[in-house]
């Protein structure tokens, strides 16, 4: 009886160790995906800073949707055309940076969000982007929406 109990205890301990190891590996993989999306969003934002419209378009999925103030933009070409004006001057009209990134457990979709600032650094909006992993390490934006921030006087 003691030998059986010892074997069961050993088997349970080994199984628990394997589960912990798998959990740690999954957490490492998830952290890597979060890092990838954070870096991708940062590189995407940098296209505005360096005035590189062509690079901007390379982050867009073919079927991307951007919610603009006037209408919803459908598809890579429509978004690229509408955003070209933001890249035409010598200075960026705004900048953005990711603060939050969340990745689905499946690793297929991610959300990034953060502030949008005017050239003087004043917070003027926030953005939320949805990214899809198209191949290992390659993320393309499928949805993007900006929202104004309240410039309300405090009572």
Q: What is the pLDDT of residues 13-27, one digit of tens each?
A: 544 554 444 445 566
CA–CA gap between residue 35 and residue 43 (Å, rounded): 12
Share of the chain above pLDDT 70, in %: 79
**Residue 154: inside a domain:** no
Give the structural domain span for 78.
Answer: 2-148
Is residue 128 scored above 60 in pLDDT? yes
**Residue 155: inside a domain:** no
Total domains in the chain come to 1
Is residue 141 scored above 60 in pLDDT? yes
Residue found by looking up tokens 């890092």 in the block: 35
Averaged pLDDT, 20-41: 79
pTM to 2 decimal places? 0.80
- The string over 133-153, giving b where at least 16 C-beta atoms fall within 10 Å of a residue's C-beta and e elsewhere, is beeeeebbbbbbebeeeeeee
pLDDT for the residue 70: 83
For residue 24, give every residue at least 6 positions away whose Cβ sits within 8 Å of its Cβ, in sequence order, or none.
none
Give the CATH number, domain containing residue 111.
3.10.450.50
Contact 30/109 with Cβ under 8 angstroms?
no
């Amino acid at each position: 009886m003691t030998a059986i109990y010892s074997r069961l205890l050993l088997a349970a301990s080994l199984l628990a160790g394997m589960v912990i190891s798998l959990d740690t590996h999954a957490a490492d993989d998830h952290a890597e995906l979060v890092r990838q999306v954070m870096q991708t969003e940062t590189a995407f934002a940098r296209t505005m800073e360096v005035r590189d419209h062509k690079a901007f378009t390379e982050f867009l999925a073919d079927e991307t949707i951007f919610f603009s103030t006037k209408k919803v933009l459908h598809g890579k070409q429509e978004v690229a055309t509408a955003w070209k004006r933001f890249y035409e001057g010598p200075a960026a009209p705004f900048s953005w940076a990711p603060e939050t990134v969340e990745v689905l457990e499946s690793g297929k979709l991610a959300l990034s969000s953060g502030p949008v600032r005017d050239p003087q650094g004043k917070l003027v909006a926030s953005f939320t982007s949805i990214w899809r992993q198209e191949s290992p390490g390659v993320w393309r934006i499928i949805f993007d929406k900006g929202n104004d921030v309240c410039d309300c006087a405090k009572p």
